[in-house]
A = this chain, B = another copy of it.
Amino acid sequence: MQLGFVSAIFPEFSLEQVLSFARDAGFASVELMCWPPGKAERRYAGVTHLDATDLSAGAIKATHDLVAKYGVAISGVGYYPNALSPNLEEAETAQAHIRRVIDLAAALGVGRMNTFVGRDHTKSIDDNWPRFLEVWRPILDHADAKGVKVGIENCPMSFGKDEWPGGKNLAVSPAVWRRMFADIPSPNFGLNFDPSHFVLQHMDYIAPLAEFKGRIFHAHAKDVRIDRAKLDQLGVFAYPNSWHSPKLPGQGDVRWGAFLGALADAGYDGHLAVEVEDRAFEGSLQARKDSLVISRRYLEQFVVGQRGGVGSGS
């Protein structure tokens, strides 16, 4: 496995700054954020390190040149909106841009885009299902046509009042995945596997690796700590933000040695992208940089981390 990080941690950086930091900090790859660009016109926007609205040969070449200059791979292109939002404008914006990011993945030759399936958070999973199929069948047809793998992150997107009650992503569990992959059997429909969301949901994150091995297209390295003292006051039905904390890998409840060993046993040899949302490391740009360095050091005891072998790995 190669170590990377999710570029959303550096919203103020240009693509070149992201790649430059990655190289200097010893990362082999980056998952680049591709939210719709543009201050003025954008709504529902986020971090944009690659602009999926510009697939011109020049733009693609510029990206390739930067990647070559810094020797850092693109592990995937990422865009995590809510394509099933009850706000129809938001949903349509998301769907349209997901298609563009798929196109970008194809144009760049990366072949991999990561996202959520989304959810109307005011409805149950069953009540979301018909619309899920209606929205996602054509998206996967598009991905099949382009030969791009779509990795769905298993985050419940359920933290506080805004996402209550259902959260903004359906693809949260093995039970849902089986239904998803049975109803939309495209070989390009798979997972961006993040063990921390299993900890949040009080689930085992080891056993599913063997069952879904062919479906794991990308992986995130985030950790969470269940705050027992708070959970004891509030219970699991309270807002999840009130009883858990996102943490750097190794400082939460994920058992990384066991997880990464089993992930390797499942034949996964792709990218592992560190995703930092630890509030203890949000105080400054330097703290965010440090958080990635610490995470890399922690994870390099379990994965080789970089392309090539002994020279780069030492």
Contacts and interface: CB of A to CB of B under 8 A. Distances in A.
Contacts of A44: none
Residue with the greatest number of chain B CB neighbours at <10 A, chosen from A161, A279, A290: A290
Interface stretch (A97-105, A106-114, A253-261): A253-261
A267 B287 CA distance: 12
- Copies of this chain: 6
Interface in A274-301: 278-281, 286, 289-290, 293-294, 297-298, 300-301
Interface of A: 21, 24-26, 124, 126, 156, 158, 161, 164-167, 172-175, 198, 201-204, 207, 225, 229, 231-238, 245, 247-248, 250-252, 257-258, 260-262, 264-265, 267, 278-281, 286, 289-290, 293-294, 297-298, 300-304, 308-311, 313-314
Shortest Cβ-Cβ A-B pairs, 5 listed: A251-B261, A165-B165, A201-B235, A264-B280, A290-B304
25 contacts: A24-B314, A25-B314, A156-B237, A158-B237, A165-B166, A174-B232, A174-B233, A175-B238, A202-B231, A202-B235, A203-B231, A203-B234, A207-B229, A236-B236, A250-B302, A261-B278, A264-B281, A267-B280, A286-B309, A294-B301, A294-B303, A294-B313, A297-B300, A297-B313, A301-B301
